[in-house]
Copies of this chain bind each other. A is one copy, B any other.
Amino acid sequence: MAAGERTLILAEGFSADRHYGKTMHGLLRYRPEDVVAILDSARIGEHEAGVPIVGDVDTALAFDPQVALVGVATQGGRFPPAWRALLRTCIERGLAIENGLHEMLADDPELRPLADRVGVELRDLRRPPAGLDCATGANLEVDARIVLTVGSDCAIGKMTVSLELDRAAQARGIASVFVPTGQTGIAIAGWGMAVDAVVADFLAGAAEQLVVEGRRRGGELLFVEGQGSLVHPAYSGVTLGLFHGSVPHALVLCHRAGSTEIEGSPGHPIPPLTDLVELHEHASLPRRQARVVAVAVNTAGLDDADADAAIAEAAAATGLPACDPVRDGADTLLDAVLESSS
């Protein structure tokens, strides 16, 4: 969304789901001033982060939205059939659509002509830019300290950790830039590229372009949003391409307290944190050795005592500074990042 654009978040059926509703929750946390309503007919009349939940588009119009943002993620990035009618109504009511799924609305044989007729924009956040290519080595020339978040699974808060680190650095007067690599990060920051949507051969090339652009935007410290996990059976390729293409100096390992299995992939264990630290350092490019400098523990849903225990356990196991930046602020992580570069 452009800054100041009044936004209706479409989260039909998923507004209470932290995993599939992660785009919505990201927006509510980092762009709350622009969100005027949430659509989810299962929760009419409730609020989420102070924002009213409505059951249909016509009710939402009372809040005068300009854009409807698809606030859910789906497996494979396609629209459930019921969403088609919802999108049609939004377009008919004159709302622009901002969409982060793999399915491109601007290519849709039904919605595209409708949007053209009504005169509204269909913005596909995951559409790769033209002219992508393989990595060239320009990433290694970027004169900035580069920090990538990596993790034990998808959807455990890598974007959040990068955003919190960026906020903490800026609060200290450091010229830091958050580098968005996925649809939610792009919606929040207003730029970036969804690296999981590019042609696979151009993964590292896309990541390279992103760190070059982060430096061009003035970043001396770049916080690159991580994607997936090296141990995820479906998404590890994206993770390694982003890792090697963004050539990080330092990694912050993200983990959800207590998780021992990849979500949605029964039988795929999450290795212990110490193994994950070793795996990431082992997998880093010989030309730019990256070190894991801190652990970010997602303690959502735990009480303070359990959260503190989980964080202490992660720190003891890895010998690294650890905290939950959402609970405690990101200063512990930022200190570790800054110390690693001195």
Answer whether residue A2 sits at the interface, using C-beta atoms and an 8 A cutoff.
Answer: no
Question: Complex: how many Å from CA A229 to CA B95?
Answer: 46
Q: In A216-242, which residues have CB < 8 Å from any B CB?
A: 230-242
Shortest Cβ distance from residue A127 to the other chain B in the assembled complex, whole angstroms: 11
Binds B, one of A20-28, A30-38, A267-275, A314-322: A267-275
Answer whether residue A76 sits at the interface, using C-beta atoms and an 8 A cutoff.
Answer: yes
Partner of A200, one of B195, B230, B231: B195
Question: Complex: how many Å from CA A217 to CA B135?
Answer: 36
Task: Tell whether, in the assembled complex, residue A238 and residue B241 are in contact, meaning their CB atoms are under 8 Å apart.
Answer: yes
A134 contacts across to B, CB distance below 8 A:
75-76, 234-235
Shortest Cβ distance from residue A285 to the other chain B in the assembled complex, whole angstroms: 6
Q: In A189-227, which residues have CB < 8 Å from any B CB?
A: 195-205
Shortest Cβ distance from residue A80 to the other chain B in the assembled complex, whole angstroms: 14
A240 contacts across to B, CB distance below 8 A:
230, 236-237, 239-241
Answer whether residue A117 sits at the interface, using C-beta atoms and an 8 A cutoff.
Answer: no
Partner of A238, one of B203, B231, B233: B203
Q: Please, could you name 29 A-B residue pairs with CB atoms under 8 Å apart, sorted by A?
A: A75-B134, A76-B133, A76-B202, A77-B201, A78-B133, A134-B235, A196-B199, A197-B199, A198-B199, A200-B237, A203-B238, A204-B234, A231-B286, A233-B244, A233-B245, A233-B287, A234-B244, A236-B241, A236-B244, A236-B285, A237-B239, A237-B240, A239-B240, A240-B240, A240-B241, A267-B287, A268-B285, A271-B286, A279-B283
Residues of chain A touching chain B, judged by Cβ–Cβ distance below 8 Å, are 75-78, 102, 133-135, 137, 140, 195-205, 230-242, 244-245, 265, 267-269, 271, 278-279, 282-283, 285-287
